[in-house]
Amino acid sequence: MKKLINDPESVVAESLAGLGAAHPDLLRVFEDPRYVLRADAPRPGKVALVSGGGSGHEPMHTGFVGLGMLDAACPGEVFTSPTPDQVLAATKAANGGAGVVHIVKNYTGDVMNFEMAADLVAEDGISVNQILIDDDVAVEDSLYTAGRRGVGATVLVEKLCGAAAEAGAPLAEVVSLGKRVNEASASMGVALSSCTVPAAAKPTFELADDEMELGIGIHGEPGRERVSLRPAREVVDMLVQPVLDDLALGRGDSVIVFVNGMGATPLSELYLVFNDLRARLGTEGIAISRCLVGPYMTALEMAGCSITLLRSDDQLVSLWDAPVRTAGLRWGA
Amino acid sequence: MKKLINDPESVVAESLAGLGAAHPDLLRVFEDPRYVLRADAPRPGKVALVSGGGSGHEPMHTGFVGLGMLDAACPGEVFTSPTPDQVLAATKAANGGAGVVHIVKNYTGDVMNFEMAADLVAEDGISVNQILIDDDVAVEDSLYTAGRRGVGATVLVEKLCGAAAEAGAPLAEVVSLGKRVNEASASMGVALSSCTVPAAAKPTFELADDEMELGIGIHGEPGRERVSLRPAREVVDMLVQPVLDDLALGRGDSVIVFVNGMGATPLSELYLVFNDLRARLGTEGIAISRCLVGPYMTALEMAGCSITLLRSDDQLVSLWDAPVRTAGLRWGA
Report CB contact under 8 Å: A5, B325.
no
Is the CB of residue B6 less than 8 Å away from at least one CB of chain A?
yes
Q: Dihedrals φ, ψ of A40, to 5°?
A: -105, 20
Closest chain A residue to B10, measured at CA: A272
Report CB contact under 8 Å: B229, A2.
yes
Average pLDDT value for residue range A163-176: 98
ipTM of the complex: 0.98
Domains and CATH numbers, chain A: 10-183 (3.40.50.10440), 185-331 (3.30.1180.20)
Q: Which residues of chain B have pLDDT under 70?
A: 333
Q: Are β-strands A48-55 and A100-105 bridged in parallel, bridged antiparallel, or unpaired?
A: parallel
- The reported pLDDT for the residue numbered A170 is 98
- The reported pLDDT for the residue numbered B286 is 98
For residue A140, pLDDT over 90 is answered with no
Q: Alpha-carbon distance A87 to A103, whole Å?
A: 11
pLDDT one-digit tens code per residue, B314-324: 999 999 999 99
Report CB contact under 8 Å: B3, A330.
no
Is the CB of residue B273 less than 8 Å away from at least one CB of chain A?
yes
Kindly indicate the confidence band of residue A141, based on its pLDDT and cuts at 50, 70 and 90.
Answer: confident
For residue A146, pLDDT over 90 is answered with no
Structural contact between residues B58 and B298, judged by C-beta atoms closer than 8 angstroms: yes
Report CB contact under 8 Å: A63, B269.
no
B-chain CB neighbours of A19 within 8 Å are: 271
Picking from A212, A231, A266, the nearest residue to B58 by CB comes out as A266
β-bridge partners, B290: B256
Report CB contact under 8 Å: A56, B291.
no
Q: Alpha-carbon distance A8 to B149, whole Å?
A: 34
Q: Dihedrals φ, ψ of B185, to 5°?
A: -115, 150
Average pLDDT value for residue range A126-142: 93
Measure in Å the smallest separation between the Cα of B156 and chain A Cα atoms.
Answer: 17
Structural contact between residues A316 and A185, judged by C-beta atoms closer than 8 angstroms: no
Other C-beta atoms lying within 10 Å of the C-beta of residue B39: 13
Q: Which residues 20-39 of chain B have a CB within 8 Å of chain A?
A: 21-22
Q: Which residues 173-202 of chain A have a CB within 8 Å of chain B?
A: 192-193
Q: Is the bond into A59 cis (omega within 30 degrees of 0)?
A: yes
- The reported pLDDT for the residue numbered B140 is 86
Is the CB of residue B143 less than 8 Å away from at least one CB of chain A?
no
Q: Which of A23, A61, A102, A219 is flagged as catalytic?
A: A219
Q: Alpha-carbon distance A296 to A287, whole Å?
A: 23
Q: Residue type at A185?
A: S
The answer to whether the pTM exceeds 0.95 is yes
Q: Dihedrals φ, ψ of A251, to 5°?
A: -45, 130
Picking from A3, A269, A271, the nearest residue to B3 by CB comes out as A269
Q: Which are the catalytic amino acids of B?
A: 57, 219
Q: What percent of chain B has pLDDT over 70?
A: 100
- Name the strand (E) or helix (H) holding B289: strand B287-294
Structural contact between residues A40 and B297, judged by C-beta atoms closer than 8 angstroms: no
Q: Alpha-carbon distance A327 to A28, whole Å?
A: 12
Report CB contact under 8 Å: A209, B2.
yes
- The reported pLDDT for the residue numbered A139 is 87
Given its phi and psi angles, is residue A186 left (phi above 0), alpha (psi -120 to 50 degrees) or beta?
A: beta
Structural contact between residues A307 and A187, judged by C-beta atoms closer than 8 angstroms: yes
Picking from B5, B16, B291, the nearest residue to A232 by CB comes out as B5
Mutate to test the interface with B, among A12, A257, A267, A306 (most CBs of B within 10 A): A267
Average pLDDT value for residue range A293-301: 98
B-chain CB neighbours of A274 within 8 Å are: 18, 21-22
Q: Counting Cβ atoms within 10 Å, is residue B28 exposed (0-12), middle (13-18) or buried (19+)?
A: middle
Picking from B233, B266, B300, the nearest residue to A58 by CB comes out as B266
Q: How many residue pairs from chains A and B have C-beta atoms closer than 8 A? A: 169
Measure in Å the smallest separation between the Cα of A4 and chain B Cα atoms.
Answer: 5
**Cα pseudo-dihedral B87, B88, B90, B92, rounded to 10:** 150
- The reported pLDDT for the residue numbered B258 is 98
Report CB contact under 8 Å: B269, A5.
yes
Report CB contact under 8 Å: A267, B59.
yes
Report CB contact under 8 Å: B272, A5.
yes
Structural contact between residues A293 and A137, judged by C-beta atoms closer than 8 angstroms: no
β-bridge partners, A30: A35
- Name the strand (E) or helix (H) holding B259: strand B254-261
Is the CB of residue A232 less than 8 Å away from at least one CB of chain B?
yes
pLDDT one-digit tens code per residue, B39-87: 999 999 999 999 999 999 999 999 999 999 999 999 999 999 999 999 9
Mutate to test the interface with B, among A2, A4, A228, A281 (most CBs of B within 10 A): A4
- The reported pLDDT for the residue numbered A222 is 87
- Please count the CA atoms within 13 angstroms of the CA of A8 that sit on its side-chain side: 11
- The reported pLDDT for the residue numbered B143 is 77
For residue B288, what are the contacts with CB-CB under 8 A and spacing of at least 6?
A: B254, B255, B256, B257, B278, B281
Measure in Å the smallest separation between the Cα of A53 and chain B Cα atoms.
Answer: 14
Measure in Å the smallest separation between the Cα of B92 and chain A Cα atoms.
Answer: 26
- Could you write out the three-class secondary structure of chain A? CCCCCCCHHHHHHHHHHHHHHHCCCCEEEECCCCEEEECCCCCCCCCEEEEEEEECCCCCCHHHECECCECEEEEEEECCCCCHHHHHHHHHHHCCCCCEEEEEECCHHHHHHHHHHHHHHHCCCCCEEEEEECCECCCCCECCECCCCCCCHHHHHHHHHHHHHHCCCCHHHHHHHHHHHHHCEEEEEEECCCCECCCCCCECCCCCCCEEEECCCCCCCCCCEEEECCCHHHHHHHHHHHHHHHHCCCCCCEEEEEEEECECCCHHHHHHHHHHHHHHHHHHCCEEEEEEEECCCCCCCECEEEEEEEECCHHHHHHHHCCEECCCCEECC
